[in-house]
């Protein structure tokens, strides 16, 4: 591949720029354009205003990654051409903030940071322990897919680094089950909030925001120089977690290089000298150190007018987004309530349909009964005719009986005569009968008197009728009530003019962040204990063992750094890497 030369013939170049989520094709680019102009063109194309965190990267002919120099023409830089004659540049994060939540303002800035950090973890360029990987994966799927959905198929290769998958005797289903469990806890977070939570966890990783360069000390020991937002550290061998030693930006006075030799002077006039593999690497190191130190000083100064305006706009945008999210949640709840009401009405409709079918069946049975009754009425009418005929016959029989009665009267008169004759005989019999009746009455009275001496026994029978009353219930559904919180009218008026109130708000957010951090550490500890029994010791890397030693010793990323001017809960303590004077640490470096 040929290097770029002069463009005196008036030709233009085609430049391809790859960001973390898009590809830009810039045609008709003047080869004599300055690096700053090309960078600004890309930033305008993607709508980025926080340009101080980013840069354009390319790989030179020695296969060394280099950053595009802003104050130098593009055709004067060693950018190789592609096979089609175009230039290919990568738009990446070049400088990292100390606190992502406080310093990142724009949504697109946060999104680009999220994509690059996520890709660095998956590529295993940024070491991430297993428990943190699972937690970060849960925030990643929340940012990508929203609230937990059982129908979403998770691709573990795009969520967890391969080294984590290899180190544990766990099936893909077991990993997915743990990610979904943590994903459920993130329900309700918007995409922006989930990405910010991801970055807040990622910034506490030991290798976050550190760019490493291979160097050698005076003893020709292979070392790595790490440049970060907190300072410069020296790393030995495969250990890129523990700096030996570390120098904060407040301790560094001057940085310079000549050819491959690089010098760092401290405030106590001590100097550390090392050699890089190539002079172009020294340029990159110096560029990173200057830019990172400038941001270090900028954070400790009042915000510029542009930054204040951006923060106000971002705050208004967050407020608008929160209002939209609240409105969306209310509409979501209202829709859920409507769906529940629909289901209830559907159930009631089914019940009414069943009742209608029962009524129709009852009506059908009633019609059948009416037909039977009509048939019975017809039969009854026929029976009435038969009975009428029988009544006529009975009347004729009555006439016959009357005639027979007259004859019987005549027989009666004959019998009366005979009766008078018998009265005399009857009178004598009556007298005899009365005498015997008196004797019988006396005997009966004696029997009754004897019977009264016995005690009668009564057996009463009580009957009780219990009525059961059936009462029907009435269902009253809960009426959905909605409460709309009116926006704070002072939100738009607070134009960040009161510095003291802004500091108080930052302190409040920092206190909340510390509480969340403690809760996060508890979550990570629980997850670590859960999967620790499944760890395969033979598959652990050197970084895993170093990280485990730090965890057992109660150390974290910030325990190896000394930042007396940073303040906050992340005030670093002294240990082997940062203890003592700068001169003592330089001696430690030279002795590696």
Predicted confidence (pLDDT) at residue 574 exceeds the cutoff of 50: no
Instruction: For residues 67 and 109, state if they share a domain.
Output: no
Residue 154 located in a structural domain:
yes
Mean pLDDT of 571-578: 43
Q: Which residues 6+ apart lie within 8 Å of 255 measured at CB?
A: 262, 263, 264, 265, 286, 289, 290
CB contact at 8 A, 64 and 278:
yes
Predicted confidence (pLDDT) at residue 490 exceeds the cutoff of 70: no
Instruction: For residues 39 and 68, state if they share a domain.
Output: yes
Instruction: For residues 68 and 30, state if they share a domain.
Output: yes
CB atoms within 10 A of CB 523: 16
Confidence of residue 575 (pLDDT cuts 50, 70, 90): very low
Between residues 436 and 142, the one the model is more confident about: 142
Residue 525 located in a structural domain:
no
Confidence of residue 140 (pLDDT cuts 50, 70, 90): very high
Bridge partners of residue 87, in order along the sequence: 15, 81
**Which phi-psi region, left, alpha or beta, contains residue 28 (left: φ > 0; alpha: ψ -120 to 50)?**
left
Instruction: For residues 153 and 182, state if they share a domain.
Output: yes
Residue 341 located in a structural domain:
no
Helix (H, G, I), strand (E, B) or coil at 460: coil
Encode burial over 313-330: b for 16+ CB neighbours within 10 A, e otherwise: ebbeeeeeeeeebeeeee
Q: Which of 202, 228, 244 is the last residue of a domain?
A: 202
Instruction: For residues 147 and 65, state if they share a domain.
Output: no
Give pLDDT tens digits for 357-412: 999 999 999 999 999 999 999 999 898 999 888 888 888 888 888 888 888 888 77
Return the closest-CA partner of residue 551 out of 122, 123, 132, 126: 132
Q: What is the domain range of residue 148? A: 101-202
Instruction: For residues 83 and 125, state if they share a domain.
Output: no
Give pLDDT tens digits for 220-274: 888 999 999 999 999 998 889 989 889 999 999 999 888 888 899 989 888 888 8
Q: How many domains does the chain have?
A: 2
Least-confidence region, from 14-18, 193-197, 497-501: 497-501
Report the C-alpha gap between 12 and 158 in whole angstroms. 39
Residue 197 located in a structural domain:
yes
Residue 502 located in a structural domain:
no
Residue 415 located in a structural domain:
no
Residue 412 located in a structural domain:
no
Q: Which of 202, 222, 242 is the last residue of a domain?
A: 202
Instruction: For residues 129 and 68, state if they share a domain.
Output: no
Cα radius of gyration rounded to whole Å, the chain? 52
Instruction: For residues 86 and 105, state if they share a domain.
Output: no
Residue 53 located in a structural domain:
yes
């Amino acid at each position: 591949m040929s290097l770029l030369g002069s463009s005196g013939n008036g030709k233009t170049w085609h430049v391809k720029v790859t960001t973390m989520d898009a590809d830009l094709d810039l045609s008709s680019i003047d080869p004599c354009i300055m690096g700053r102009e090309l960078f600004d063109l890309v930033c305008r194309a993607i709508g980025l205003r926080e340009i101080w965190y980013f840069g354009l990267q390319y790989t030179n002919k020695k296969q060394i990654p280099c950053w595009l120099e802003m104050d130098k023409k593009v055709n004067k830089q060693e950018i190789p051409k592609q096979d089609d004659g175009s230039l290919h540049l990568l738009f990446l994060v070049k400088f990292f903030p100390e606190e992502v939540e406080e310093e990142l303002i724009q949504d697109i800035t946060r999104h680009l940071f999220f994509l690059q950090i996520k890709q660095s973890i998956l590529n295993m360029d940024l070491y991430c322990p297993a428990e943190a990987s699972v937690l970060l994966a849960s925030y990643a799927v929340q940012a990508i897919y929203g609230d937990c959905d059982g129908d979403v198929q998770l691709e573990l290769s795009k969520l967890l680094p391969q080294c984590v998958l290899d180190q544990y005797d766990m099936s893909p289903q077991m990993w997915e089950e743990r990610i979904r469990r943590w994903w459920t806890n993130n329900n309700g977070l918007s995409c922006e909030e989930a990405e910010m939570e991801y970055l807040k966890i990622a910034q506490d990783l030991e290798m976050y925001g550190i760019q490493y360069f291979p160097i050698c000390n005076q003893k020709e020991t292979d070392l790595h120089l790490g440049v970060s937002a907190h300072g410069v550290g020296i790393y030995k061998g495969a250990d890129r977690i523990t700096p030996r030693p570390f120098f904060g930006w407040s301790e560094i006075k001057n940085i310079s290089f000549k050819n491959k030799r690089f010098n760092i002077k401290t405030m106590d006039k001590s100097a550390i000298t090392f050699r890089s593999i190539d002079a172009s690497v020294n340029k990159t190191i110096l560029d990173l150190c200057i830019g990172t130190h400038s941001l270090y000083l900028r954070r400790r100064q009042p915000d510029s007018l542009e930054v204040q305006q951006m923060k106000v706009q971002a705050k208004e945008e967050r407020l608008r987004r929160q209002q939209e999210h609240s409105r969306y949640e209310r509409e979501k709840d209202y829709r859920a309530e409507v769906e529940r009401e629909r289901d209830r009405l559907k159930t009631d409709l089914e019940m009414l349909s069943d009742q209608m079918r029962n009524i129709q069946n009852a009506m059908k049975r009633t019609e059948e009964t009416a037909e039977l009754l009509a048939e019975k009425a017809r039969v009854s009418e026929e029976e009435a005719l038969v009975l009428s005929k029988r009544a006529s016959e009975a009347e004729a029989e009555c006439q016959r009986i009357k005639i027979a009665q007259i004859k019987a009267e005549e027989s009666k008169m004959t019998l009366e005569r005979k009766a008078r004759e018998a009265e005399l005989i009857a009178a004598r019999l009556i007298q005899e009968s009365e005498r015997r009746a008196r004797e019988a009455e006396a005997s009966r009275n004696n029997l009754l008197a004897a019977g009264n001496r016995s005690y009668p026994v009564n057996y009463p029978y009580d009957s009780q009728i219990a009525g059961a009353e059936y009462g029907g219930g009435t269902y009253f559904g809960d009426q959905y009530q909605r409460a709309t919180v009116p926006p704070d009218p002072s939100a738009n008026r607070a134009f960040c003019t009161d510095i003291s109130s802004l500091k108080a708000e930052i302190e409040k957010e920092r206190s909340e962040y510390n509480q969340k951090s403690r809760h996060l550490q508890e979550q990570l500890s629980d997850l670590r204990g859960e999967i620790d029994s499944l760890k395969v010791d033979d598959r652990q890397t050197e970084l895993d063992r170093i990280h485990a030693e730090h965890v057992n010793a109660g150390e974290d990323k910030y325990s190896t750094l000394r930042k007396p001017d940073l303040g906050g809960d992340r005030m670093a303590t002294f240990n082997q890497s940062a203890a003592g004077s700068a001169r003592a640490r330089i001696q430690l470096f030279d002795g590696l």
